[in-house]
Amino acid sequence: MFLYHLSRIIQDSVVLCEQIRVIDKSRIIRILGHLEQSYLTQIEQAICTILDITTV
């Protein structure tokens, strides 16, 4: 999924839902921005598809 023109992010970004990683919150140095609900919904759908999870 491509993310365009997000606040505080200089370059366009890509979310690779098939490359899920878990990191500890303490490793996060700073928050670069927030995603709009429409992006979060699309990401959730993609992750559910990849993990073969049916949404409620």
* 40 within a domain of the structure (yes/no): yes
pTM of the model: 0.67
Q: Is there a domain that residue 56 lies in?
A: no
The number of domains in the chain is 1
Q: Which domain holds residue 32?
A: 2-50
Amino acid 48: pLDDT: 92
- pLDDT of 1 > 60? The answer is no
pLDDT in tens, 29-55: 987 777 888 888 998 999 999 999 986
User: Is 16 inside any structural domain?
Assistant: yes
Q: Is the pLDDT of residue 5 over 60?
A: no
Query: Has residue 56 got a pLDDT over 80?
Result: no
Segment 11-31 shows an average pLDDT of 87
- In 3D, which of 5, 1, 2 has the Cα closest to residue 18? 1
Kindly state whether residue 9 falls inside one of the protein's structural domains: yes
